[in-house]
Amino acid sequence: MSIGDLKLDDFPYSNPGYGRKVAVVGVGSAGCRIANQLSKESKLLEHFVYVTCDDHDIANITKGEKILIDATLRSKATPYEVRGLAFARVPEIRQQIKDSELVFVISGLGGAVGSGLAPLVAREVREKGAICVAIAVMPFNFERSKHYFAGGALKQLRNYASGVVLIDNDELLENKKIPAIDAFYLVNQKIAVALNKFLGSTEKHEFSIGLNNVVSFVRTNSYCVLCIGEDIETSECRKAVLNAASHFDRIVDKSEASKSIVHVVGDKSITMNDLVTSIGGLSGILGNGTMQIEYGFSANSESSSAAFIVASGFSSTKFEHYDPVDRALKNRTCIDLGFDSSLGIEMLLPDIERS
Ligand SMILES: Nc1nc2c(ncn2[C@@H]2O[C@H](COP(=O)(O)OP(=O)(O)OP(=O)(O)O)[C@@H](O)[C@H]2O)c(=O)[nH]1
Ligand SMILES: [Mg+2]
């Protein structure tokens, strides 16, 4: 059966959940933390797999399958080296996804593990004919040394996955003064809540866009970008949506947005008018006036309002520049950047080994 033949109706909102039909694979430190957070949020997603080289990434994870790849600090300096180390463990990865028709691969790109192994897992998913949706967290602007690996890994992920949702760490962390350890926790929590709301949570007073629609939405060759906004002070949904929409500007050309899915979180008093003004205002900010919008909402927040937006249709993002070789090859300005123009990207970041 080809990927195109799969019916997403195969994933009903059944009780208790999707079992192994839908897998979530967290890769590397960030990927394991976000996947673990999602496992705590979601009652529907049941099959979680963690793949990493560092035992502390999975030390506190109590449920799910763990694949720990043996590596010393020196032997995992690059994504390529990590892929080499993971080679012998590919059968275990295959085993974990063998019953899955849809696999979410979550990773932070820029380090050696996520950048090395997320494309490898995505390729395995594709080879078995399942749908792969990659959730890629991009490094902070200041992590310049990580941009190159992130750019290369993103390119490979786009090649193997049916859809890639990008998350910009810089845009998720608005208050950069909080301690770093809390910052990651907070950001991971936001990402996990957003994914859970979109995919279909089972909470009361909620209407979700749902797994089927989200997966159809992200199956595109264009870039999909997830942005999150809150309104803590006045708890107004409209302000949360405006806040979420304001982040796109720094990542993409927002006029290119052709479709978006939006989930608004408010309290019990949220009215239809609140939704209409919140979501209606979005087409004035994203797209060229014709953007299609699908939405869900939760009317059960006891604190602030929040809005989660995934928009698609972007031909490029700010991350395009993270891969200087690719850019240099496109622009043929390699000499300025100190790269040999005869080097192909695949020579520098070789493709995943065929097994
Ligand atoms: N949102 C979020 N981003 C993270 C977290 N940890 C790291 N990152 C980001 O993700 C990118 C990849 O970092 P890691 O996941 O730590 O890297 P890795 O894949 O484990 O690879 P190594 O660094 O070689 O261990 C970094 O550049 C950070 O910007 C996290 O817990 N949450
Ligand atoms: Mg790590």
Tell me the pLDDT tens digit for each residue of 251-271. Answer: 999 999 999 999 999 988 888
**Closest ligand 1 atom, residue 117 Cα:** 19
Calculate mean pLDDT across residues 14-27: 84
Test site for ligand 1: of 25, 27, 29, 185, most ligand atoms within 8 A of the Cβ: 29
pLDDT per position as a tens digit, 118-162: 999 999 999 999 999 999 999 999 999 999 999 999 999 999 999
The confidence score (pLDDT) of residue 191 equals 96
Dihedral angle sign, alpha carbons of residues 118, 119, 123, 129: positive
**Is 309 in a helix, a strand, or coil?**
strand
CA–CA separation, 214 vs 17, rounded Å? 17
Which residues lie with the beta carbon below 6 Å from any ligand 1 atom?
Answer: 28-30, 33, 54, 76, 108, 110-114, 137, 139-140, 143, 146, 169, 184, 187-188
pTM for this entry: 0.89
Task: Output the average pLDDT for the chain.
Answer: 86
Say which residue, 260 or 44, is predicted with more confidence.
260
The confidence score (pLDDT) of residue 84 equals 94
Calculate mean pLDDT across residues 170-175: 83
**What's the CA angle centered on 195, arms 43 and 208, to 5 degrees?**
75
Provide the CATH number for the domain formed by 206-314 in this structure. Answer: 3.30.1330.20
What CATH class has 19-161? alpha beta
Say which residue, 39 or 281, is predicted with more confidence.
39
256 CA → ligand 2 middle, Å: 34
Write the CA distances from 346 to 79, 102, 155, 163, 205, integer angstroms: 13, 28, 11, 22, 49
CA–CA separation, 78 vs 350, rounded Å? 11
Ligand nearest to C-alpha 82? 1
- Whether the per-residue pLDDT at 329 is higher than 60: the answer is yes
Q: Where are the domains of the chain?
A: 19-161, 206-314
79 CA → ligand 2 middle, Å: 11
Say which residue, 297 or 321, is predicted with more confidence.
297
The confidence score (pLDDT) of residue 126 equals 97
